[in-house]
Amino acid sequence: MKALLLLLLVSLSFALYDSTSNVVHLTKDTFKSEVLDSEDPWLVEFYAPWCGYCKRLVPVYDKVATAYKGIMKLGAVDMTTDKEAGEPYEVSMYPTIKYFGQDKTKPIDYNDERDEAGFITFLGERIKEIARSRIDSKESPLDAKIAAVIKKKKDDEEAERKE
């Protein structure tokens, strides 16, 4: 029991993002439900807690997560404890950052600068893509809502005529 508790404390001490961070801690158990099954766009960092580059990225990535809160989700996977989450994406170096947009089966590699300006440029382009696809789609979510309201109104009118 003591060994298990010690192992838990040691693994928690290596976490790069604390509980006050807007970066979502993802695990092999939560990755699918949080990221892949979500309609939200995600930027995910796959890291190792001993990695110097990963440690230097923390304040920037945390700041970007705060700036994009409510617009896009940013998450992080500790590959030393949850490598199964990153295996399908051929994560071989740290940090590896991938964007999971509308097509979650084809994440986009983030290869831009690892500073605020780089993230803002990259994520700004992804947001434009989302907006363009919604405008260009045959039926936007708003169109579906409008169609549902019109159908309900017609059904109600027809029901009144039958009475």
pLDDT tens-digit profile of 119-155? 999 999 999 999 888 888 765 555 666 666 667 767 7
State what percent of residues in the chain have pLDDT above 70: 81
24-26 sheet: strands from edge to edge: 24-26, 73-78, 42-47, 96-100, 108-109
On the question of pLDDT at 74 being above 90, the answer is yes
Residues 6+ apart with CB under 8 A from 144: none
What's the pLDDT score for residue 4? 41
Split at pLDDT 50, 70, 90, the class of 161 is confident
Split at pLDDT 50, 70, 90, the class of 158 is confident
78 versus 7: which is more confidently predicted?
78
Integer Cα distance of 93 and 147 in angstroms = 48
pLDDT in tens, 1-14: 554 433 433 444 45
Split at pLDDT 50, 70, 90, the class of 43 is very high
The model's pTM is 0.76
